[in-house]
Amino acid sequence: MPITQQNARIESIVRRVIITVIVIGCLVVLRPFVSALAWAAILCFCSWPLYLRLGKLFRGRKEAAAGVMTALVALVMVVPFVIVGLSFADNIAHLLDRISAVRANGLPPAPEWVSQIPLFGDMIQNYWSGLAANTDTLMVLLKQLLVYSRAWLLARGLNIAEGILQLSLSVMMAFFFYLNGERITERVREAGKRILGDYGQHMITVTGQTVKGVVYGILGTALAQGILAGIGFWIAGVPSAFLLGLLVFFLSMIPFGPPLVWIPVTIWVFLSGHMGWGIFMALWGFLIISGVDNIIRPYLISRGANLPFVLVLLGVLGGLLAFGFIGIFLGPTLLAIGYSLAREFLRNKPNGPPPAS
């Protein structure tokens, strides 16, 4: 082999090695932020029409429009979870104080509404009275509860704090996506056209429709239900109202999930002797919380992708394990994209013409 060709080959290998090392280094640096970047891009894409309207309102000043959009997204995505985190911290302190008070003063009598619980009321009442009479058993139980609850509550508090940090980071990154969204979109379209030809544009369109369907129809309605539930519980004076709202947020991703929270809460309010607030909670739960689920969700999902329930469940759980708290939002979205693209790929040949829209 001539020396010139050999040198050219060595230079080519060296360039490839250098590029590979740089790419790997970039991936290592960005790995902790991949989930936040992905969610920021999804948020920006789904709220892009509103950003364009704000751009017209601010007469083309992109920085002002992007700043207002970022503030609005933070108000919807971050502030509710900050309130939940603060409420969780207060509840931890209150619970530990209650446990310490019981250890010092003994177990108080059971509330009157305990005996009125259907089926299990008398059993709980008798068990409560037995613990109050047997101090040694009560102290052992409280010691175990204090040891395990501290570790569990601390871990959950750290999870919530990490999730708030990830959401805040994604919102901050969304500001820059708003400013450069048009150029990013153009690059994505060019890449899709190079990889899949004209069919790539169709696949990008399917991906966009799927993302909007999942974010609006599943995650958006879940967030709306959680916020509305927390507000209703807080108005009615229910303890740990915002934590219960967070539970509604999680359960709203499964069929008939929110009633599993607001119906027992309503029963508890009635049993506590607050008839007026019980009626309020029943109406709020049926008309407001479940009304979002029964009316708004089907409309929004019909405009996007109707994702099977099992994929939603796997997306939430898998996303939580893979990406942490932000994976609750990211997991179902990624699975929905994969599901829709696989269905489109099997339905149409990639080398053929895209189906008529």
Over residues 93-150, the pLDDT tens digits come to 776 677 677 666 666 666 666 666 666 667 777 777 776 666 666 677 766 666 666 6
Over residues 12-43, the pLDDT tens digits come to 788 888 888 888 888 888 787 888 888 888 88
Tell me the domain boundaries of the chain. Answer: 36-194, 197-357
Q: Is 298 a residue whose pLDDT tops 80?
A: no
CA atoms within 13 A on the CB side of 165: 10
Three-class SS state of 143: helix
Candidates 223, 220, 355; CA nearest to 301 is 220
Give the pLDDT band of residue 9 (cuts 50, 70, 90): confident
Mean pLDDT of the chain: 78
Here the contacts of 137-145 (C-beta below 8 Å, separation 24 or greater) are 138/102, 138/106, 138/107, 139/103, 142/99, 142/102, 142/103, 145/99
Residue 208: the pLDDT is 76
DSSP 331: H
Q: For residues 315 and 330, what is the distance between their CA atoms, to the nearest angstrom?
A: 8
Over residues 148-173, the pLDDT tens digits come to 666 777 777 777 788 888 888 888 88
Q: For residues 167 and 85, what is the distance between their CA atoms, to the nearest angstrom?
A: 13
Q: Is the dihedral of CA 12, 13, 18, 24 positive or negative?
A: positive
Q: For residues 267 and 272, what is the distance between their CA atoms, to the nearest angstrom?
A: 9
Overall average pLDDT of the 318-344 stretch: 79
Instruction: Indicate the residue type of 303.
Output: R
Q: Which of 82-96, 123-137, 313-327 has the lowest mean pLDDT?
A: 123-137
DSSP 352: S
Overall average pLDDT of the 208-216 stretch: 77
